[in-house]
Amino acid sequence: MKIRRSVTMEDIARMAHVSKPTVSRALRNSPLVTPETRKLVMDLAQKHGYVVNRNAQKLRQSRSDTIAVVLDFKSHRENRISDPFIFNLLAGVSEALGQREQDLLLCAPGHAEIESLSAIIASRGADGIIFLGEGERRPDFVDLAALGVPFVVWGSVEQDQSYCAVGSDNFHGGFLAGQHLLDRGRSRFLFVGDSRFHEISQRRQGLVAALAKSDKPTHLSDLIMDGFSYASTLEAARAMIESDKATVPDAVFAASDTAAMALISALGDAGLSVPGDVSVVGYNNIPGAEYFSPPLTTIGQDVHMAGALLVEKLMLHIEGRAPASTMLDTRLIVRESS
Amino acid sequence: MKIRRSVTMEDIARMAHVSKPTVSRALRNSPLVTPETRKLVMDLAQKHGYVVNRNAQKLRQSRSDTIAVVLDFKSHRENRISDPFIFNLLAGVSEALGQREQDLLLCAPGHAEIESLSAIIASRGADGIIFLGEGERRPDFVDLAALGVPFVVWGSVEQDQSYCAVGSDNFHGGFLAGQHLLDRGRSRFLFVGDSRFHEISQRRQGLVAALAKSDKPTHLSDLIMDGFSYASTLEAARAMIESDKATVPDAVFAASDTAAMALISALGDAGLSVPGDVSVVGYNNIPGAEYFSPPLTTIGQDVHMAGALLVEKLMLHIEGRAPASTMLDTRLIVRESS
DNA sequence: TTTATAAATGAAATGCATTTCAAAAAAATA
DNA sequence: TATTTTTTTGAAATGCATTTCATTTATAAA
């Protein structure tokens, strides 16, 4: 089996003493072809290392069997985000696509403008798009949906959304965290996370809702920070603890496990113990949360299913059906940090 | 700008009162076309939302401007590897490809058989392949190289290798770690890492070489384990400490930062302090190593450059030139865990 | 003004597989 | 055996952009 450059379907047809359409059918297991013919053709193809030219195929079929996945690496790298959550999500998507024999075109941030995005589809480079994380692109989604581009988003799910999204029930997640911390008898809350991100903001709202139900007085402050990297969290936390010793919180809800870990470090440096002085709850249940010291109480969801769902819905969309958004169940995983 | 299905180059040509070739040239900024014509054509294309059909283009050019990146998600997920190293590498590759206007086709493990791999190229689905991590595929690489498939590998670099690889100088990294631990006056060493992986084995050899140079007697043992996830490391470590209190090491060199972190946890649980009782050195300098408690001494390398290098070499290969392998500089980053 | 050169454009061929539709071959029925 | 039905097969059209090569047009030189 050697790679040559010019074995075409025509060549195989000639060698098998049949026509091109027959070869085409044989290779695709069409029932319109005799088993003998099929075998003959396949053996010949194998022998000569012939593989169908995907580009010709795609051109003819006006279908690419390719899905574009948009992942904002850049902001990840710049923020030095080490949150493996998105990576696991990507893995789930990758696997689900593989099962459906769809190729995965990974798109860098350069492609993030709406023009290039719809161009991906218009140029038949991909049949649909999966956005992993909505970042600050929400307005674009509305436009994109209006253009009829088939896509799904991992992000926040809302009423009357003009596009299909799959996401964690962020509000409920925040609510669970709040409830849990109240159960622990805490009252001075700190929320850690960049609320400019919609998903994060919803988690915060869930927390607020839980606090509102409390019959004891509670206090909530925010750790203002830019992005949500481990480093920036750590710095912000240190600065806060330093400047404001009096109002150090006794409960922290961090919008990501990574941020929670950073927080715990900062608290430790300041001589505060977790969970002794402060209870901390994270988000995402990343692999590693379990093994952190102390093991992290966190909000978890089924990432792997998320990937499969995103793919399933996108395929429906491509087939012309309008898939509904789904909010993934979210659960509290109690460990030792709270 | 609305997406329609059937605006073709011919349509634009008709509207501009020119021929297809002219449109083609105009859109690709060929100097063979008058600025006026170009503008006319481009405006028309813009107006009608016309985008070149990538598949037709690729077919005609027998070139896909696409690079396949093979990443063994599966083993990652199964091992629950949370090591963000490979993710950063992917980000680097993605960016470098973006700069060269190459698309990135992300391949799941299903594509890992050598047949499918060379088929990716033969089918013109991609012009070349980048392997991120060699896993247990080394023998395949030799075959693949023999087939003339253009590819590069992130992995171990060796003499007389029949293919192009870019990798950390694993031996030197191990050597640096060993030297450093010796400088700290340590003598009972533990190596943590699955030596079945070649890169890992080289790190170990570097360590051994450093120990061999010591004038004091040293002792080296291995933490035997399967894969290199945080969880399996942790379990193995706990089991070891439990069973063999007498020979608990005073120096640990872990083949990844994640493993180092797991080890530190396990040691902590056993009442041993780092760096008080045991010095620990990791590998990769992942984002987060810096913020771990205690901050991790580790072996670092320029991941971002690695991505760029891989791409650069692959492009050379595709152009028919034979790129040389490169070993990336490796440096010791001393922090508080040692 | 004529001729030589350079610049811009277009007709037709090309890349390769799939689809349509008609024809041939085989099998079933009368 | 003749006729209808079913199963296989193939010729030609199709999907769309690029390339080659010839032709026209504009510019420079004679």
**For A242-291, what is each residue's pLDDT tens digit?**
776 656 789 999 988 888 888 888 888 788 888 899 999 999 988 778 77
Looking at the predicted structure, is the pLDDT value of residue B71 above 90? no
Strands B103-107 and B128-132: unpaired
Give contacts of A290 with chain B, Cβ < 8 Å. 231
- Cα A113 from Cα A39, distance rounded (Å): 48
A9 touches strand C (CB under 7 A): yes
Cross-chain Cβ contact B54/A268 below 8 Å: no
Task: Tell me what the mean pLDDT of segment B247-260 comes to.
Answer: 87
The residue among A241 and A191 whose pLDDT is bigger is: A191
Q: Name A192's Cβ contacts closer than 8 Å, sequence gap at least 6.
A: A222, A223, A225, A233, A237, A252, A253, A254, A255, A259, A260, A263
Q: What are the φ and ψ backbone dihedral angles of A280, each rounded to 5 degrees?
A: -125, 135
Cross-chain Cβ contact B55/A53 below 8 Å: no
List the B60 CA – C6 C1' distance (angstroms).
Answer: 29
Per-residue model confidence (pLDDT) at position A73:
67
- Percentage of chain B exceeding pLDDT 70: 89
Give contacts of A231 with chain B, Cβ < 8 Å. 287, 290-291
Q: Judge whether A140 and A114 are in contact, CB under 8 Å.
A: yes
Task: Tell me what the mean pLDDT of segment B53-81 comes to.
Answer: 81
Looking at the predicted structure, is the pLDDT value of residue A50 above 50? yes
A28 touches strand C (CB under 7 A): yes
Looking at the predicted structure, is the pLDDT value of residue B1 above 60? no
From the list A187, A206, A203, the residue with the least C-alpha distance to A247 is A187
- Cα A181 from Cα A188, distance rounded (Å): 10
Task: Tell me what the mean pLDDT of segment A43-64 comes to.
Answer: 94
Q: Name A128's Cβ contacts closer than 8 Å, sequence gap at least 6.
A: A67, A68, A121, A149, A150, A151, A152, A314, A315, A317, A318
Cross-chain Cβ contact B104/A103 below 8 Å: no
Mutate to test the interface with A, among B6, B42, B47, B77 (most CBs of A within 10 A): B77
Search chain A and give the residue with CA nearest B7.
Answer: A122
Give contacts of B115 with chain A, Cβ < 8 Å. 1
- Cα B12 from Cα B42, distance rounded (Å): 9
Cross-chain Cβ contact B3/A54 below 8 Å: no
Query: pLDDT tens for residues B304-331?
Result: 899 999 999 999 999 988 899 999 999 9
The residue among B25 and A223 whose pLDDT is bigger is: B25
Task: Tell me what the mean pLDDT of segment A208-215 comes to.
Answer: 93
Looking at the predicted structure, is the pLDDT value of residue A9 above 70? yes
**Rg value, chain B, Cα:** 26
What strands, in cross-sheet order, belong to the sheet with B164-168?
Answer: A326-328, A164-168, A151-154, A128-132, A66-71, A103-107, B103-107, B66-71, B128-132, B151-154, B164-168, B326-328
The pTM for the full model equals 0.89
B19 touches strand C (CB under 7 A): yes
The amino acid that residue B297 corresponds to is: T
Per-residue model confidence (pLDDT) at position A101:
92
Count of CB pairs separated by less than 8 Å, A with B: 167
List the B56 CA – D15 C1' distance (angstroms).
Answer: 8
Q: Each residue of A303-328: b (16+ CB within 10 Å) or e?
A: bbbbbbbbbbbbbbbbeeeebebbbb
The residue with tokens 């922090």 is: B335
Query: pLDDT tens for residues B210-239?
Result: 999 988 888 888 886 665 566 667 777 777
The residue among B45 and A6 whose pLDDT is bigger is: B45
Per-residue model confidence (pLDDT) at position B3:
39
B63 touches strand C (CB under 7 A): no
Q: Judge whether A19 and A12 are in contact, CB under 8 Å.
A: no
Report chain B's mean pLDDT, rounded to a whole number. 86
Q: Name A90's Cβ contacts closer than 8 Å, sequence gap at least 6.
A: A69, A71, A132, A307, B73
Q: What is the DSSP string of A125-179?
A: S-SEEEEE--TT-HHHHHHHHHTT--EEEES---TT-SSEEEEE-HHHHHHHHHH
Give contacts of B286 with chain A, Cβ < 8 Å. 82
Identity of the highest mean pLDDT range in A80-89, A128-137, A178-187, B114-123: A178-187
List the B61 CA – C15 C1' distance (angstroms).
Answer: 8
Q: Residue B132 CA to chain centroid, in angstroms?
A: 4
List the B32 CA – D20 C1' distance (angstroms).
Answer: 15
B53 touches strand D (CB under 7 A): yes
B window 55-84: Cβ near strand D (< 7 A): 56-57, 59-61
Looking at the predicted structure, is the pLDDT value of residue B245 above 70? no
Positions of E strands within B88-187: 103-107, 128-132, 151-154, 164-168
- Cα B269 from Cα B265, distance rounded (Å): 6
Search chain B and give the residue with CA nearest A118.
Answer: B3
Task: Tell me what the mean pLDDT of segment A186-214 comes to.
Answer: 90
Looking at the predicted structure, is the pLDDT value of residue B100 above 70? yes
Cross-chain Cβ contact B149/A3 below 8 Å: yes
Q: Judge whether A178 and A206 are in contact, CB under 8 Å.
A: yes
Cross-chain Cβ contact B123/A52 below 8 Å: yes
Query: Which of A109, A231, A304 has the CB atom closest to B291's CB atom?
Result: A231
Looking at the predicted structure, is the pLDDT value of residue B4 above 60? no
Chain A: nearest CA to B225, how far in angstroms? 17
Query: pLDDT tens for residues B151-187?
Result: 999 988 888 899 999 998 999 999 999 999 999 999 9
pLDDT bracket for residue B79 (50, 70, 90): very low
Looking at the predicted structure, is the pLDDT value of residue A2 above 50? no
Query: pLDDT tens for residues A76-118?
Result: 544 444 567 888 889 899 999 999 999 999 987 655 577 788 8
Looking at the predicted structure, is the pLDDT value of residue B283 above 90? yes
Q: What is the DSSP string of A205-270?
A: HHHHHHHHH-SS--EEEEE--SS--HHHHHHHHHHHHHHTGGG--SEEEESSHHHHHHHHHHHHHT
Strands B331-333 and B297-300: antiparallel
Mutate to test the interface with A, among B95, B291, B292, B318 (most CBs of A within 10 A): B291
- Give the largest CA-CA distance in chain B: 88
Establish how many alpha carbons lie within 13 A of residue A196's alpha carbon, considering only the half-sphere containing its beta carbon.
8
Query: pLDDT tens for residues A132-167?
Result: 987 667 778 999 999 889 999 998 888 889 999 999
Give contacts of A50 with chain B, Cβ < 8 Å. 122
Task: Tell me what the mean pLDDT of segment A37-42 comes to.
Answer: 93
Cross-chain Cβ contact A91/B76 below 8 Å: yes
Report chain A's mean pLDDT, rounded to a whole number. 86
- Percentage of chain A exceeding pLDDT 90: 54
